[in-house]
Structure 1
Amino acid sequence: MLKLPLRAFLFLLLPISLTTFAQDNDTKLSYEENIYNREKKHIDKTNELLNRGDEKVYKKAHELLTILKAKRSLVNVNIILAQYFKNKAFIDSSIFYVNEALKFNISNDTLQAKIQSSAYNTLATNYTIKGLFEESKKWHLKGIEAAEKFNEEYFYYANTHGLARAYMEIGDFEKSLKLFKKCLEYKEEKQIIYGSYINIGSVYAMLEDFELSEKYLQKGLILAKKDSSHYAHAVITENLASNAQDQGKYDEAISLYNKTIKLSEQYGFYQLALISRMDIGNILLNQKKYQEAETLYLKALDQAIKLGYLEQQFIVYDNLKQIALNQLDYKNAFNYTSKYYHLKDSVNILQKDKEINELEVKYQTTQKEKEILLLQVENKNRKLELEIEKKENENQILSLQCSAEQIEVENVLLKKDQEIKQADLKIKEANLARQKTIRNIILYSFLVILIPIIGLLSVYYQKHRTQRQLNKKQEEVNQQKISTLLNEQELKMIKASIDGQDKERKRIAQELHDSICGNIAAIKLQLSNVVNDVQGSSLQTINVQLNDTYDQVRNLSHNLLPKKFIHNNFCDVLEEYFTSIGDASKLITTFTVYPREEINLLEELIQIETFKITQELITNTIKHANASSVELQLTLSESILNVLFEDNGVGFDTKHFKSGIGLENIKNRLQNMSGILSIDSRIHRGTIINIEIPTLVKNIEEV
């Protein structure tokens, strides 16, 4: 079976360190900024270590976190650590340090926007590497919003490029191509241009449109050669080789892979050379050229071991095992399989957290120091014991030399001591008996007092426990009452809104009946007499009445339009309404719109219908969902307005669900605009409603 080539992408490595941000020379430096300027040289040196791939950057960054004072300095160090862990593929650690950087609040709004936009881009890239593409999309959109707020083009296009990459990973190639092509408009950063050309070529290759794929890859190749960008040149050549391999042009593919290897080894792109060498091995393996494939894989294995690329080692061992099996060489197949699992066990050991290993080393060092101190103390004690034993031996020798007279005196003294001791023993026995009696009396008295105290404590504990349970139940009842009152208040608000709509409908009906219907009846009578009117005065009267009826209908329709749209942008009005509903109902609301200016310029009819649909959705959520948060997201792409409404409420079973009046009203409005409604909901998981509305004027007018 043909193995697909390992495609190489140009990952966008953005210089997100804030040390490159310019300072406004027209303002007087604050105390905080003066501190930052003194600390900047340390950050620059650490950033240089990161760019060189020096492992010392980890230790240096942690030292700086303990000594630096300025907020901007600490933000820089956290972002350097985030970039370090991202390069090491420790994604969770990278995400942690990005979030640490975002905790700092810089007083300069423009600088804060740059911090957020660049940090969001790093966060989204981490989620792309982890395969969490929806999370990646969310953070790239936040980065775009922050960049647009202060017109930061660089960070806008960097996040747009990342968003396109997320769409490519989830298979939404249409949106991906649109955003990558938009990035080609930004000429200030070559990395974005190269990455866009390469990724557009890769998307077309995935769509098997190899002609367009090679067209964009060749454009990128011309630009890379012109700018002497050797890495982009190597990546594009590798992608051209992958295209040839996908089309079955194996000789051309091998030739291009060899060019990639030569260019990569010349300029130190060893991982790319390794990927190309493995792709050639795949071609030879599928052509059953086992000897050549094995030779190439062994060379690739040697390179992967030297570079420390564990994933590539796994792939090579697996392919070498397959070659051995195809040649019925079971001994080598078993050997390669054993090395594969041995490597897997080694990887599990190597994946221990670096900081934990350092702490273990410090702990072991401390333990060894303690052991050395204990040994030193034991040696000193041993010397002292030897000296004491020596002195005791000397004393024993002296005592043996005492005269017989001293021994006799001692014997007499011993006899007297024995007599005295016997008398003392009798006295002690009497005292012990008396003390035992006293102790027993005290013990019995203590027990007599202790038992009632234990009883009282037990009663008090039971009473306290009962009172605490009563208080807890009373608190639950109070919470239920408060919740009931809030729900009743929300229902009253909704009912008032519905009553207002009913009154407005009655007023419209009355206007139609009293004014327009009357005029139409008069016109009908005039038409019946028009035949007998020779001078045409009836025609003139009918014309006047028709004009009057037209003006009344026009005024009536204008009175129905939300007046806010006349003087305000649509997105601002919708956001204000959405936020006010959240404040009134205690809902946590999130509102996202992109691109805001283009949505503000949509046809007024689309804006009105979208506003009314949103009203219906939020009303249904408050009445039925029992949610604590709702999110509304508006996006406009290729003449399609997408409305995504999500709540975290109780949800429902879509298979056994009967739509109510509110949902039917939404469907009727969408039917008039050729819109599409889809609902995704499960019990206890919330509800997601996705609406797509075509924005071309001709579609609305046809309906």
Structure 2
Amino acid sequence: MNLLKKNILIILISCPLIVLGQLSHEIENISKHIYLLDFNKSQKLIDQLEDKDLRITLEELNNIIKNRGSNKKIDSIALDKITHKNKPHPYTPLFTEIVQGYYNMYYGNDQSKSLNSFNNALKIASANNNKAFQKLIISNILQLYSLQKTPNSIRQLKYLEILESISETCQDATIVIYFETLFFGQSTREEALKFIPTAKKLNKILNTCNFSKNWESNVYDLLMVYFRETNKQDSLIKYANKLLALPTTNYTKLSKFYAHLELASLNATNNNAKEATKYLSLSKSQFNELDSTRAAYSYYRFGAMKVLSVIGEYEQAYNFLEKSIIFEHHLNFKENQQDINQLQVELETAEKEKQLLLSEQENKKQEYFLIALGGLLVLGSFIAVLINLNTKRKQRIAEQEKEIEIQKIERLLKEQELTTIDAMIEGQEKERQRLAGDLHDNVGATLAAAKLQFEHLKRNRAKSNITDELYEKTSFLLADAYSKIRNISHINNSGVIAKNGLLPAVQKLARNASINGKLNIEVSDFGLENRIENTLEIMLFRVIQELVTNIIKHSKASEASIAITQHEGIINIIIEDNGIGISEERKLINSTGMGLENIEKRIEHIDGTFEIDSSLGKGTTIIIDIPVEQNTQ
């Protein structure tokens, strides 16, 4: 009899799954467009359905995902319509689990319930081999993981593997790479090293297939982080502007929030304080009201670290940092609550299993009850201890981070002040020592001889036979002194450049800087038949000299080249190396010598242009274009 009941129960459960397995082409097409966030197309297809109940259900499913948690009132109505139908149809269990999962992801205090609902929906869709709904559900699960402050999880990788295994189209492949990139970007372990190569792959595949504007905003948002990390400013600006040009939806609004933050950081890095503060202010207009705690944390932490401290607004940066720490505590508390809820769900599941066993073994009911109660008490105590320890640890970390940030800002100010003073004193002292040596060694001896000639002339002025000879010798000595002073002046201004010109000086510099077996520097030229203005030659030589010094000290390059071309009133200089790239060099380069920023300002002062193209591990290329007037002397 019991076996007969079980068989009947299995048949009753399987019947809706069998019917659900016969999903029409229209239903799969609708779910595909919802998965691709193309809600207008999915709504048009929904309107064409003949089944009224099915049409209403799919419309509410489409709307709740379209809202992306931005309208709790509308979403709660949609949830009620689907989960409390008087006449449920075979699709109701699947749609109910999806909508409950999505609703709890944004509004519920217990996101573990959201994960459970999505997993139940995934089981139903997998049992009926409906890949469109499987992709939709898994993408929502991965989105749920990304909302966690520390989302790195082995389970997350397993869902990524499932999504990749059922991928069929170009859009599917791109979405898989998108979630991989998002996972590596949020990781704090060795997986974080995979972010840049995975993001690079995402950038390449993006333009190979068409996407909805909503998905484009997600991808653009992630690529902006990639361009920031690889110091590709032009690409970052391009994608930020493309993102801001998209129509504002519940998906693009959050991405526009981060786009404004990225542009604020970029302008701060380029010393454009006015634009930086403008974009920082604009980002607040794109706040995510639903997840205001996370948005506020991102706004204040990013503003403090990437914008205000960079442009020198240290007091405001400190205030932003304090506020971000407060919102970070709220996020940590929320995560702790989610962990507790997850444990409670597991306890409830275990309790149900125990109750089933107790019903079958009534003779041991009291014993199992005592065991369950004891387990609950022990586990409850363990959870309480974990919460207490975790809360204290988070507080200590937050306090330490706050102190570290304050110390960094103070140390940066002191180092900048000391570096400026030391460089000025050292330069002045070296210049005084060198001029004193030149005057003493070269001019001093000649003037001393001229003085002796004058004294001799004074004593023998009555002797006309030697007066002319003395005047001639004295004149020669004075002329020699004048010539030496003039040479010292020329040497101080240009060294070997005044004599030989820019190209020989650069060639000599390359020969001296090359190191056998370690660094080889080649020089090539075109169109340098005539000399250019002397002051410009000196300035260009010093710029090239500084850039070569940077290559020697910081690039770890084995090969470098200097190409100088003069054509139609333009001097073009290209300096390349195969070193480690600019991102690691910049910190060192700006600490000594002219610095790239000062070089760029010098070039711009004479109406020239200065460009840097560099990527990590691929070397650096610097291009300088300067308008010139030929000097035929």
TM range (shorter): 0.3 to 0.5
Higher relative contact order (CA 8 A, sep 6+): 2
